[in-house]
Amino acid sequence: MTGPLLAAELLQPVPVSRPGQWRYALYDLLTRRQIAEHMPFTVEPFDRSLTEAGTLTASLQTGDPGVQSLDPWGRAVQRRTSLVVLRDDVVVGEYVVWNRPSYKASEKKMTLSCSEIRSVLDKHRIFRPTDGYGSRKTLEFVQADAFDVFRALLADAQAATYQGLPVGDLAIEMDPTVLSGVLIDRRDVQDQATAYHGYSMEYYGPLLDDLADTAGFEWRIDTFIDSDNQLRRRLVLGYPHVGRGPDADSLTLEYPGTIADYQVDDDGESSANYVASIGAGEEEAAIWGEAYNAAELAAGYPLLETTASYKDDTSPVIAAGHAAAELSRVSGDVQLWSLDLIGYPAVAPGDYVRIRICDEARWRGSSAAPVEKWVRVVGMKIQPAPKERTTLTIEDPRGTS
């Protein structure tokens, strides 16, 4: 690793990449048939996120006869149309049109309110027993890989039909060879019912998010254009993370330079240096284990405690292992960063980037050196052409101050 940059070495901000050619295409949500190759939308800064569906707002001046000839009202239909954002013919994101809010005759402007493709799963429930009314629908898994369980849930969502029509099929492609290595049970035994039941009528989106959270992995849905110019979607799964890890070819962002501005919050309130992990059993009979951050306590930090619950743990040894794992997650301070970039970076939520920051107003005279580290992108707000800007929300591992 090279040494930190001096401020004099980077006098002028430089873009992450050259300005690109942006266009906004409309597709039929279910058939993925292109409805319009380009619509001259004005797009506000839009979001991409790992943990929830990113949002996008687009508008058109429909008083323009040229725009009227494109039939925007007939093409951008809420609930069945997706808006695909492309930069230099590479898909940046796909957003479902959910609303066309606030049309005023005096303004003659169409506005679209959109969310990423995964938002459809937040409006699709798990029920419809295969044998019709009065029958049960249960999805059970015994010592199954967590990714297989996830894919089975998503496949069940996409298998929904109405009179032979594939009304639930988003054509999300899944690779069955990608495994997490984590085996889980989702079944009904004795007094525990962890199988997936149709009678619960839960939405698939929260079920998938809960599975990923409890099994400790991440997921996203990527849209791309293939060599035959067809719109396709694929599921991306990663244990414990999706995205590109730190490597020599990863993007380097510098301040001053590509980073026009940054914000950092130092948070110690969410930290703990003692964890008790509660396992099976109730009250005095409960199985439990504990873990301390000995280095912090010996260094003079006060005792800060938290608990974790793993009701399937039946051994104090296993409970102690879970306590140690949770302690590593909550020990130390966390830094919450936001980077404002000139241009658009070739990264996606989940990717690592390298940052090099020289800011004497923050670090001069302190024991801390200027920042030079790997950080992980967990969210993006993108301002497309004509003035490309990107704000990255990044995750920085905890560390003792």
CB-CB neighbours of 380 under 10 Å: 26
d(CA 107, CA 90): 33
What does the pLDDT look like over 350-379, one tens digit per residue? Answer: 999 999 888 877 665 555 567 788 889 999
What does the pLDDT look like over 11-20, one tens digit per residue? Answer: 345 567 778 8
What does the pLDDT look like over 115-131, one tens digit per residue? Answer: 999 999 999 998 878 77
Beta bridge partners of 85: 24, 93
d(CA 189, CA 215): 19
At residue 205 the predicted structure's pLDDT band, cuts being 50, 70 and 90, is: very high
At residue 270 the predicted structure's pLDDT band, cuts being 50, 70 and 90, is: confident
At residue 6 the predicted structure's pLDDT band, cuts being 50, 70 and 90, is: very low
Amino acid identity for residue 381 in this structure: K
